Each structure stands twice: as structure tokens, then as C-alpha cells.
Chain A
Amino acid sequence: MPSEAAVIEAVPAAPPKSRRWETRRNIGDKVYKWILTVAAVSVLLIIAGTIYELTMGSRQSIAAFGLRFFSDSNWDPGRHLFGALPFILGTLYSSFWALVLALPIGLFTAIFLSEMAPRWLERPVSFMVELLAAIPSVVYGLWGLFVLQPFLVKYFEGPIANGPLAALPIFGGTANGYDMLSASVILAIMVLPYITAVSRDILRAIPRTVREASYALGATSWETIKGVVLPYARAGIIGAVMLGFGRALGETMAVTMVIGNAPIFKTDLFSSGYTLASVIANELAEASGLYRSALIEIGLCLFLITLVVNAAAKLLIYYTAQDLNATGGKK
């Protein structure tokens, strides 16, 4: 992939608009323009269509439950009780713990890659971390079932559940592996490449002069990273974390396979839970009527949450990159 900066440099000054489509008015170019416009507009149509269709699909459920849908914690299709609260909380809670685990590892890896690693080490390690993003969710789920769960139960959940720490409100539940903890660890591994790659790019874009000024004042390299580089990159790093959060919220298969799929929410990491994406994955194919409508409303809810989180992340990263480009990057 060409780097962002190289692409921007290679962009020629756009010719005046009139030369493009205005002066050469033959039929072929008109058709050409229309075909291109149709393709471009269809992206917007798909997004708008998704919002429209999901809203229409959830009409029945919205009419039946209104706002109670989001505050009710009973989910019992057999008795026509549909409350999305356990799923909303389960999604946020598992993603939160995923970030707690992934943020320090991702950020320190990014610091290592951009500030410390020699070039021969940096490229293969970057490649390997990014490779984590290429592994499909369902394969992570399989690994979670066969490797991670037994490992966590034996070396982490078991000892804690039988020890004094079990009294803490986050360590209750049965230590069988089908729980929030497994889901969060898997999610952490899955969002790690996003947090690392984006933070690394932001750190790299920080102007060399900023670091040199810090060294000139007598700061050590760690003081420079902590006191100058990280504060400089703060907005972009927050953007990277939110991007990871957005990914974690929408992750489906791996979570579905290890979280236990119980429509209850507890703060215990060893308790089974459920997420917005998982309940859709497990139940939509067989649902009909009000049940289906409720699941589609859950989809709408998931869509809107990820939309807001991702848009905010993109804007933060975009403006940080713009700021840094304006002052000149390190490369």
C-alpha cells in the first residue's frame, strides 16, 4: 500500500472543472458521467436503504414496546417479552473489557514500532500484527472454544473462583469458560491490530522537530515519548481506541461462540451473557412476526451505535492527521 503522504503528493492539481465534462459534450461522455454517478450514488443508497429497511422492519416492535424496549431486561420469545437491555449492556461491557486489555498492549506496541524498533524488525512485526486482522471471526471463535476457554478455566477462572478474590463483584459466576471473560479476551485480540496500526501511523506523523526540541531541552527518550509525543497524538489515539471499540461492538461470530448466549446481564466476568450481534446471529433465521421485528430493531440499535462511534473516531483521526500533515511529518 502506498503511504498516505505519497498518495497526496502524487495527486495532480485538479484541472479546471470546465475541461472535464463541460466542453466535450458528446453522447459517450454523458453516458460515462451518468454511469459513474449511478455507481457513486449507490453507495449512499445502500447506507440510506439500510437505515430505511431496518426502521421499517422494526416498526412492529417500536409500536409494541416504544422506549421500554431499551430499558426492559426480559427477553422471552415464548411469552412475547422482548427487552433489549441485556444485549445492549452485554455488548458495551464485553467491548469495554476488550479495550481495557487491548489498549495498553496496542499502544505500547505502537510506541515500540514507531519510536524504538529498528527498521528490519519494525516491518515484519507490523506485518504480523496486521495479519491478526486478516483472520476471520469464525476462526477466532473456533480457537476460543478449543484453546482459550480451557486455558482460561484451568489457569485463571478456576484458581480465582476458588480463592479469596471470588468475593469481588467482577469475579462471580461459574468458571466454565462460556462467559464475558472469554468474549472480552477474544475481542481484545481482534481489535488489537486496529488500535496498533492507527496509533502507529499517528505517532509516525508527529513532526521530527517536536521530538528534537524535547531532546534539546535535555529530555530522555522516554520523557520525550511520555511528555511530548503522546500528548501531541492524544486526539488521534483516542480516535484509534474508538475505532477499535466500533469493531468490537459489531463483532459477531467469535463472541457468539464463547459468550454463553444467556439473555441476562451480570457484571461478573465468569457469567454467561449475550450481545446485540450474537442474538441476531442465533435467532433471526427462525424468527417471525413480532419476534423478527424485535431482532431487526436490535440490528438498528447496533447499527446506530457503531455509526456514531465510528464517525466520531474517523473525524478524530482525520483532524489529527490533518493537523500533523500541516506541520510536516517525521518521514
Chain B
Amino acid sequence: MAGVAASATIVAVTALVFVLLYILIGGIGSMNFSIFTQGPVPMGQEGGGLRNAIIGTLILISIACVIGLPIGILGGVYQLETNTTFSRTLRFFTDVMNSIPSIVMGIFAYLIVVLPAAEISPGHAFSAFAGGVALGFLMIPTVMRTTEEILRLVPVALRDASLALGASQWRTTLSVILPSARGGIITGILLALARIAGETAPLLFTAFGNLDFNVRLDRPIDALPLNIFNYATSPYENLHHLALAGAIILLAIILVLSIAARWALKGQLQD
């Protein structure tokens, strides 16, 4: 039976290797410089690049951070500061929130941002902001849980020393606890970013995608995962190559974020 267990492991690892190798080989083969400098061309034409999508993804992630980080980090501090039935319930609901399908979060953003926007100015329903809201909400549980876990590792003597010097609670948190847990909090943020960078489903009816270059937050915006989806499902060979190039850029972004996350945590634990 040891053989069965070992073969199962080999199957699992092979699946990963198959997926990664294909994207790696196909993606590198499809790479060229113009992918970073050109926008999309009409379907069926040669050429075209992912510039708009890459910039769009960066903008969407930035909006998500503005919305998700304050709530996530402060929520994590709240969990550290309180130990009540409410805070334990909250911890359970954070887990629940973590398991809400991303497309449902997208519908929520659609209902609270896209539809009201369409009421106010007809014709301008979808927006970068709506996409950022969906992604921001998706970040919260990860940031909150990792912040709380890392803050619990800060020695209680440090807090006591600060309080004994006459510092107030908020001063202690801001100047002693948060700085000494910096690396771990950054890890949480980077992991959350790695999770949302590839999200596609909630963007389909919020950020929507845009054939023109756009940086305005109240207009639809293109995103890397949206381009991968549209190009991979199109019938054109050159767009398939663009999709593969997009996939490898996306994986590279996620890989860099994940490695940086591990690195930040390592620095933290050695301090």
C-alpha cells in the first residue's frame, strides 16, 4: 500500500508539472517585446499586446488595497485586542467570508456599485472602481487572519513595557506592536495580492474590460485575467499566443508576490 500512496503523490505532483511546464514553454514561445508596449487589436488581426491589461490589473490591485487593507489590518488588530464571544464569532465569519465564491463577491460589487452608477449616469455602468471593490473585499479575510496570527507572536512584555512607560493603547499599537510585526503583516498582504491578481470571474461584470486604453476609475478597464479568458476562448491562433503570454506574466506576478511573502516572513522570524 505504500506504493499506492507514493503513486498518488506522483500523480499530484505530475499534474502540477504538466500545467506549469505547458504554460512556461507556451508562454515563453509567445513572448515578445510588443506585448508590453501595444494595446489590443481587432479580433482576427495580427499583432497586439497586453499593455492596457497589465496597467489595468495594477490599477485594480491598487484600488483593492485601498479598500481591503485598512479593514483587514485593523480587523486583525481588533482580534488581538479583544477576547469576547463576539470576536470569536467574528473569527468564524472571517473564515466564512474567505470561502464565499469570488463570483458571488463580484455580484455584490455589481449590485452596490455598477447598478447604482448606471442609474446616476446611464451608459456608464461598469467601472474600474467596481472591480477594485470586488477584489478589495476578497482580500480582507486573508489580510485579517495573517495580521492577527502574526500580532499574537509579538511578546506581551513589549506591550507591557510600552504601557508601563505611560503610552496609551493606540500609541502602543501604532509605535510598538505594528512595527515589530511588520514583516508578517506584509506577508499577509502579499499573499492576499497573489490571490486576487488572477481573479477573473468577479471582474466580468464589474471592471468589464475595455478595448481602449483607460486609467479613469469610473470607466471600464481591461485586466490581465480578462484578456486571458477572452483570448483563450477566441478562435484565433495569434490570440491564443497572447493568452499564453498573459498567463505567464500573471504567473510571474503571483510567483514574485509569493516568494516576497515568504521572504518577508523569514526576516520577521529572525528579528
Residues of A within 8 A of B (CB): 1-2, 7, 10-12, 14-15, 17, 20-21, 24, 26, 28-29, 31-33, 35-40, 42-44, 46-47, 49-50, 53-54, 56-57, 104-109, 111-113, 115-117, 125, 128-129, 131-132, 134-143, 145-147, 189, 192, 196, 222, 225-226, 243, 246-247, 249-253, 257, 277, 280-281, 284-285, 296, 299, 302-303, 306-307, 310-311, 314
Contact = CB atoms under 8 A, between A and B. Distances in A.
Interface in B162-189: 168-171, 173
* Among B2, B108, B244: residue with most chain A CB under 10 A: B108
Interface stretch (B33-41, B42-50, B58-66, B85-93): B85-93
Contacts of B152: 7, 10-11
* Among A113, A142, A251: residue with most chain B CB under 10 A: A142
Contact of A42 (B7, B71, B77, B81): B71
Contacts of B254: 134-136
Interface of B: 1-2, 4-9, 11-13, 15-16, 18-20, 22-23, 26, 70-71, 73-75, 77-79, 81-83, 87, 90, 92-97, 99-105, 107-108, 110-112, 126, 137, 140-141, 144, 149, 152-153, 155-156, 168-171, 173, 194, 197-201, 204-205, 208, 225, 228-229, 232-233, 240, 243-244, 247, 250-251, 254, 258, 265, 269
Nearest to B110: A284
Given A40-B87, A138-B232, A196-B12, 5 more contacts: A7-B152, A46-B108, A139-B247, A192-B12, A253-B200
* Among A31, A112, A132: residue with most chain B CB under 10 A: A112
A314 B99 CA distance: 10
A54 B104 CA distance: 9
B265 A137 contact: no
B23 A139 contact: yes
Given A137-B201, A252-B102, A43 B90 contact: yes
A39 B6 contact: no
Contact of B79 (A40, A131, A142): A40
B171 A28 contact: yes
Nearest first, the 6 A-B pairs at minimum CB distance are: A136-B198, A250-B101, A108-B8, A39-B74, A32-B170, A12-B156
- Interface of chain B, helix or strand or loop or mixed? helix
Contacts of B229: 138, 141, 253, 257
A193 to B, nearest CB: 8
Contacts of B83: 14, 17
B92 A285 contact: no
Contacts of B232: 138, 141-142, 145-146, 257
A116 B141 CA distance: 34
Nearest to A143: B19
A26 B168 CA distance: 8
Contacts of B243: 142
Contacts of A49: 108, 112
Contacts of A116: 2, 5-6
A112 B5 contact: yes
Nearest to A280: B103
Contacts of B93: 43-44, 47
A10 B151 CA distance: 10
Contacts of A46: 97, 108, 137, 140
6 contacts: A21-B81, A26-B168, A43-B140, A105-B12, A146-B22, A314-B95
Contact of A125 (B9, B18, B153, B173): B9
Contacts of B77: 36, 39
B16 A131 contact: yes
A122 to B, nearest CB: 10
Contacts of B171: 28
A243 to B, nearest CB: 8
* Among B26, B96, B103, B247: residue with most chain A CB under 10 A: B103
A106 B78 CA distance: 36
Contacts of A314: 92, 95-96, 99
